[in-house]
Amino acid sequence: MPQGPAPADSLEGATGRGARYSLAVPSRCSAFAPKIFGLGLGLVLLASLGCSTNPATGKPQLAMIGEQQEIAMGREADVSVAQQYGIYDDPELQAYIQDLGMQLARVSERPDLPWKFAVVDDSIVNAFALPGGFVYVSRGILAHVASEAELMGVLGHEVGHVTARHSVEQMSRAQLAGLGLGVASVASRDVRQWGGLAGAGLQVAFLKFGRDDERQSDSLGLRYVVRAGYDPTEMPKIFHTLDRVSQAAGSGRIPTWQSTHPDPGARSQTIARAVSQLAPDEQRGTLNREIYLAHLEGMTFGANPREGFTVGSTFYHPDLAFRLDFPSGWQIVNQRSQVGALSPEKDAIVVLSLVQGSADQAAAEFRNVGGIVMGSSMGRNMQRFETVSDNPNDQVLTGVVRFVEHRDVTLRLLAYTLDSRWRNAEQPLVDSVDSFGSLSDPRYLDVQPKRLELVELPRPMSLSDFAEAYPSSVDRTTLAIINGVSAEDVLEKGQVMKRIVGGDLPDR
Ligand SMILES: [Zn+2]
């Protein structure tokens, strides 16, 4: 958790970062979704006028959101993406991805959108697009891709979602149906929202597209890849890789693209069939394997422990030099602007968040949130609070809040549970909030992330030869997947292989 609010991942999806829920919602994001869906009523009346012809698909489309509005929505969500995921700090890599993306955008049916292609600082295998031409790939997916041509397939697919205006169509449908995608709860200014909801500002990035939309994006992506002169036969490979990643992860870290892009086998076959029907000269094209890989040299791999890691139930944050003990046995979720832990019964929560302003300012802001009544001070800047609500169905929440100025940031420690559970939960919650402290032990302060390195093989060898000659700090399965090879393959002399180095953490 370094600088910026909380994520919930997506490769257009909903899950991710190992977490199935999000611990807090930054208030500056939550205004976004209601704004989109708040367009609602007036526009419903215009529904019959909301059909237009889509330039990419040539088909009539339900679109109650105009292009300028679409771009404005994308721009706003783009800010949330940067805050919640972070943009990976490598200007050269960013420029490279922007250049690749623009090659596709230029040959698309909507070349004049304010296209932006960026790498988000996320280890999950992920890519997603916002309306208006904002496309993101995670460093996690980059590490799993083997060539420019393969990456172009991923980018082309996302460009397809934008040109076909899939999210616009979907939001228009949601307006019509009056569903609002759960916005009623998002709009609630209740303290509960800190405990349960994903960043509302990114709802638009988490829309799940239907199977038809996915197929359409595949075929549009293929079109752009071919027009840009890239080898389209590389495009199906990402599906195979995604399959392997999720198999290796078990039920744990399923790549988000997988969760929102069902049936990868059938889709990769469909794409392969479409490729085989292209004119022969279109079935060839630029591959650029070595050029692509060279851009990955030194890239962070996996979760970055500088942004926080856990040993036992203690959380360490090297960049911000603090530590915090969570109640033991709780599920800890580390996100960009906060880290939190949830009780096994999911009825109590401790959340530490970065907040704006001084401790006094942040405390005043907290007191002024509607629905909160402050209670007695408990010393050390810690104070009791409980929630009040006009709605008799809302249960009262009781907790403690503490504000700490640490180095040059202000942190809010918040721990709460249902009022009826407070008696049992009070001690562990208060102890946890109380345990916040500075971190000075260099064993924790100096940890570094894993990095991707390239090796040009001096001779033919097997994967296990490679792993022995050039040790990696990931397991053999991961090594095979990121290199797109299997244990039986003979690796050729001169082949460029990825290895992962460093990143050891203290074990206690
Ligand atoms: Zn998609």
Residue pLDDT, tens place only, 455-498: 999 999 999 999 999 999 999 999 999 999 999 999 999 999 99
Look-up of token digits 């007191």: 367
Grouping H, G, I as helix, E, B as strand and the rest as coil, residue 253 is coil
Q: Is the pLDDT of residue 44 over 50?
A: no
CA of 435 to the centre of ligand 1 (A): 44
CA of 217 to the centre of ligand 1 (A): 6
For 454-471, the DSSP string reads: EEE-SS-EEHHHHHHHS-
Cβ pair 294, 454 in contact under 8 A: yes
CA of 209 to the centre of ligand 1 (A): 7
Which pLDDT tens digit goes with each residue over 241-263?
Answer: 877 887 777 644 555 555 566 56
d(CA 321, CA 440): 7
CA of 453 to the centre of ligand 1 (A): 30
CA of 347 to the centre of ligand 1 (A): 35
How would you classify the pairing of strands 409-418 and 348-355? antiparallel
Taking alpha carbons only, the member of 24, 287, 294, 241 closest to residue 126 is 241
**Per-residue pLDDT averaged across 148-173, rounded?**
88
Query: Cα dihedral sign for 158, 164, 169, 171?
Result: positive
Q: Is the pLDDT of residue 200 over 60?
A: no
More confident residue, 305 or 335: 305
Q: Which residues are paired to 339 by β-bridges?
A: 334, 352
Cβ pair 141, 301 in contact under 8 A: no
Confidence of residue 166 (pLDDT cuts 50, 70, 90): confident
| Least reliable range by pLDDT among 33-47, 416-430, 468-482 | 33-47
d(CA 346, CA 309): 22
What is residue 207's predicted lDDT score, i.e. its pLDDT?
Answer: 58
What is residue 334's predicted lDDT score, i.e. its pLDDT?
Answer: 80
Q: Which residues are paired to 316 by β-bridges?
A: 309, 323
CA of 10 to the centre of ligand 1 (A): 10
Which pLDDT tens digit goes with each residue over 102-151?
Answer: 999 999 999 999 999 999 998 888 888 888 999 999 999 999 999 999 99
**Per-residue pLDDT averaged across 192-216, rounded?**
54
Look-up of token digits 């199906």: 236
Calculated CA dihedral for residues 154, 158, 164, 167, nearest 10 degrees: 140
Cβ pair 330, 172 in contact under 8 A: no
CA of 213 to the centre of ligand 1 (A): 7
Which pLDDT tens digit goes with each residue over 376-404?
Answer: 998 888 999 988 878 777 778 899 999 99
CA of 161 to the centre of ligand 1 (A): 7
CA of 138 to the centre of ligand 1 (A): 15
Taking alpha carbons only, the member of 270, 255, 168 closest to residue 211 is 270
DSSP H stretches of helix in 277-328: 289-294
Q: Is the pLDDT of residue 452 over 60?
A: yes
What is residue 172's predicted lDDT score, i.e. its pLDDT?
Answer: 64
In whole numbers, what is the pLDDT of the chain averaged over residues?
Answer: 80
Q: Domains of the chain, with CATH numbers?
A: 27-295 (no CATH), 305-440 (3.40.1000.10), 450-501 (3.10.350)
Name residues with Cβ closer than 5 Å to ligand 1, which is an ion: 12, 214, 217
Structure tokens at 66: 């105009």
CA of 88 to the centre of ligand 1 (A): 22
Cα separations (Å) of 126 from 28, 205, 348? 25, 12, 30
CA of 63 to the centre of ligand 1 (A): 19
Confidence of residue 315 (pLDDT cuts 50, 70, 90): very high
CA of 362 to the centre of ligand 1 (A): 40
d(CA 257, CA 458): 35
DSSP H stretches of helix in 330-475: 359-367, 422-434, 442-445, 463-469
Q: Which residues are paired to 52 by β-bridges?
A: 61
Q: Is the pLDDT of residue 50 over 60?
A: no
